[in-house]
Structure 1
Amino acid sequence: MADTLLTRAMSGAVDPPLSPLPDRVAELLTRLGSPPRLAAHLRAVHDVARRLVGWMQERYPAVIFDRDAVLFGAATHDIGKTVHLDELGGPGSAHEEAGQALLLGHGIGPEFARFAATHASWAEAEVDFEDLLVSLADKIWKNKRVPELEDLVVARLARATGRAAWEEFIALDEILARIGDAADERLAFQASFPIHA
């Protein structure tokens, strides 16, 4: 039963449609015995990241960023919650370093494992644009707007394009509002899976 729930959370047909988790991530979550709710959360955030990446590629074809890193980061950002189950249903940050260590221990390179540790520390000066996109996906999947985070994304976009920050703000606001419109369905999808397998 648990395997069926986990498989459904990672790749089953759902309404609204959500992209399945990448095979590499699904295999890792299965090996780790991930709680189905965690897999559902990672799938929802990964799907939102796919939408953000698609929008970036369409609107900003000249802006260079690592699409694969953003998608992998979104699909694994909370993987440390397989170790810290209490943080799956409540607050806590122990899963961040634990997640990075877990990914590194499973042969994932530091350039991809870092998102488990950086997804909540987006205000740090050394955070890359990819880290900001993963953090943004982790907020907007449930329609949580974080002005300080969005301002950092807008500033990076304005710097990369040479356009005014207000133009980039309007564009970002529009896509985030569109993605946020389906937040209730994503939240219901996540809540339909148990925390414990």
Structure 2
Amino acid sequence: MRSTYLREIFKVGKDITLPEVYVRVKNPVAYVGGKPVSQRPILAFFAGQMHGKVRPILLKYWENKDPDMKILGPKFYGIGKKGPYIEYMKLSKYCICPKGYEVNSPRVMEAIYFECVPVIISDNFVLPFDNILNWKAFSVVILERDIPRLKEILLSISEKRYLTMQARVKRVQKHFLWHNKPVKYDLFHMILHSIWHNRIHNMRL
């Protein structure tokens, strides 16, 4: 769905946003985990296709502009199961998650899987399980117009706050993991709970 379409039909408090994930059938939790904070030399990382209006703006300001900001275009992309894309996420403090054609993106979940603090760039995104989880505690949300100030915004976050957010990413990770057999508080249970929460809320209105 395109973001304009979502704005027209999404009803906050009634509808829910589902996490966009790639499910590996044989081993759903393969490659989950990341480097310790002390082994994350990259401030921010992004690599992806140039669909939508936000990503080209991101590359215009940051591609090959700053050694601390690994902002790369589609030539790098090719995720692959063991490709450099995953390694860059595991080596980065912040993983940039700009919207493409759609508001949602599996990149947000990938950041959480690899214990990288997600930086979400989208003006119209109701985050998954926002009726349950406090996303401000473990992610950064940036308006599209603030892309030129991206590094400034990230550097303004204190080391203490970053460490707290990164620890919370690791803590909430279990809520976004899919298992062949459901595990308590995993993605399967979170989806059901989110639907139930909104259902109960609307019955009380």
| TM-score with structure 2 setting the length | 0.27
Question: Which structure has the highest helix share of the two?
Answer: 1
| TM-score with structure 1 setting the length | 0.28
Question: Which structure has the highest strand share of the two?
Answer: 2
